[in-house]
Copies of this chain bind each other. A is one copy, B any other.
Amino acid sequence: MSDKPIILVTNDDGLNAKGIKALVAMVKGFGDIYVVAPNRSNSGKSNSITVEVPIRIKKVRDEENLHIYSCKGTPVDCVKLALNKILPRTPDFLVSGINHGANTSVSVLYSGTMGATIEGCLNGIPSIGYSLNDFSADADFSQSIKYGRKIFANLIEKGLERSVCLNVNFPKGDINGIRVCRQADGRWKEEFDHRQDPFGGDYYWLTGYFKNAEPNAEETDEWAINNGYASVVPTKIDMTAHQLVEDLKTWDYEVED
């Protein structure tokens, strides 16, 4: 077995997306690369797992230092299967993306790209999710590759605290530099597109736009990508609002029999 670092590569746009090819190019030369990615788009799949149907995996091909597998599951399924059934040992690093579309602010909660990244983190693997603020299938990832590689090289050199992963977002076009940020406050505002099928049945398409609650906050990821910077947000698994634990102890919990 090779003693090179093992790098697990996955995404949520599927194995044929341009973004995952860019990601392989980004980490090339840093170790043995295993790509285990969904066979089709899994956008918006968050941390979801497949529990009610079985999952299939298929080896696509081997090249030098590059092994590619296709998986009929979610991004998190891909990571779990890679760790348990595909890789020769626990990987040294996980990278996910490069997503076609930004995953700033609360999109971290819906994102399959970040779902896979968080799954790597849960398993103690230093993990980075990368996204580019451009939904187009033919997006230009050349700048993302250059800046993303620099962040990855830092991760290799400096490591990362357990239970924390990185959420990296690139602006469209030229990049002015890299900023470490916090997640912006905001939310998606839905606009359902209501239609009727030929048989009179109603159905709805989920559409909408992101509403930033603090567009001028320069320390946020949203501000960064809207001003030409790549954003790096340290992202943690623990969702406890620790500052409220003591407050909530003052509620009345006496239950009568």
User: Residues of A with Cβ closer than 8 Å to B?
Assistant: 41, 43-52, 54-57, 76-77, 80-81, 83-85, 106, 108-110, 112, 115, 118, 122-123, 146-147, 150-151, 154, 158, 161, 163-164, 175, 177-178, 180-183, 185, 187-188, 190-192, 194-195, 201-206, 219, 232-242, 244-245, 247-249, 251-255
Contact = CB atoms under 8 A, between A and B. Distances in A.
Contact of A204 (B54, B194, B201): B54
5 contacts: A80-B206, A146-B255, A180-B245, A219-B245, A234-B248
Given A81-B204, A109-B122, A182-B245, 14 more contacts: A44-B51, A46-B49, A48-B110, A54-B195, A55-B205, A80-B190, A85-B192, A122-B187, A158-B251, A164-B241, A180-B248, A182-B240, A185-B238, A239-B239
Contacts of A203: 54-56
A240 B249 contact: no
Secondary structure at the A interface, as helix, strand, loop or mixed, is mixed
A236 B235 contact: no
Contacts of A191: 84
Q: Which one of A161, A190, A242, A247 has the greatest number of beta carbons of chain B within 10 Å?
A: A190
Contact of A206 (B55, B178, B201, B251): B55
B56 A204 contact: yes
Contacts of A201: 56
A254 B147 CA distance: 9
A217 to B, nearest CB: 12
Contact of A49 (B51, B110, B146, B235): B110
A122 to B, nearest CB: 5
